[in-house]
Structure 1
């Protein structure tokens, strides 16, 4: 159930995330357009990448890094002129480098988090299955009756046994009350021989 909830959250990215990211990107871009080219105005786009860590899916981090890259390049062409060209290019290159370094760390962090979350969900599922099997085992054990200790049996007839209340009852009744076994009657070889001799003597 928790896994389904997480999957649903991943498929339903909050609109607030998109709106917030767009507003932040436009705000940084507006500031960049009003700064001279000599200033590394593209560096703040790293914030877009870091915010994307809280997004449901990893591809949002890539998306924010790409948006930051595009706006950094656009800022190079649209910002007011200023500074030496090699310094301007170096500043923009450093800004792009910072964006993608942040993106790589953010992606790694997100993947590790997702793996940990999946392991946690798998552990919860395994524990739930174990509890179910444990309940089934306890239920099965509850239906099993055992006989233990010293059980007095008649030394003469061997057909009577003393129960827990001290009363002598038939073996069949005792076993039916203390086990789940169903008894059937037969004749052992000794009794069969005795019975045959008795029959022959009668005839």
Structure 2
């Protein structure tokens, strides 16, 4: 066997295993480390692809970037979607696309920086075609969305597709879609060998899918046996539909926040009103020095006040004078007897 091919196979096995192993730790560590890993692999994929690292075989050429790293990313997104759902998948896709966008930006900045040092140094860091970068990013985004849609479509009960066939067809479909989108976007109309490039890449991607499929299928089966999980059948456009659900949740959350802010304002107003009322309340406490004859009360300044006057000064009470029955009979006997 060609030594370069053997190294490529070992490299692919190691990277595939690393991605799937990182995902298997999600129960204990969550998915943060997994997202960090696929972000790093995305950067390596872009760099190895730009460098043109490949293994040439009779009739086909295997790019290290797509054979090893892109396929590993595809496996990672695949298992995240199957076991963790659309929301986690969108985070993974955003990570891959974000790094894919940042790498060419960093490349252009470095190239410009090196050019300042002199034209000879810039030759060691050649800039890549904007068209190729754009085609690569668009193809990657479309591939990963298509992965979720194809998986759910093939999982419809009326098709009765076996799990292994469903996984293989989805994987192969994504790899072939990537070939078509990338080759068309990058080379159509500008490269006379466009069709030949695309045809040869279709063959190589078929071989890659045959090689990567056992890793994917056995991992899915192992996770099912280990956790007793049933693979959920979601709507075909679940990867897109949940976007509207998330927006609705955010809208409801915003409405709840506004409602609570309004309640807080009302509560603040009520608290201020209560504090004002408490401040205005006057309460009589303690021992009141009272004259035992006239019943006048002495205040803290030593001055004497009638009972009614003192109470009105030290509370909110008001007096309205009348006469009780006993006093009326005592002081006005004629009036009470006539009544």
Scaled by the length of structure 2, the TM-score of the pair is 0.32
Q: Quick check: which one's helix share is greater?
A: 2
Scaled by the length of structure 1, the TM-score of the pair is 0.49
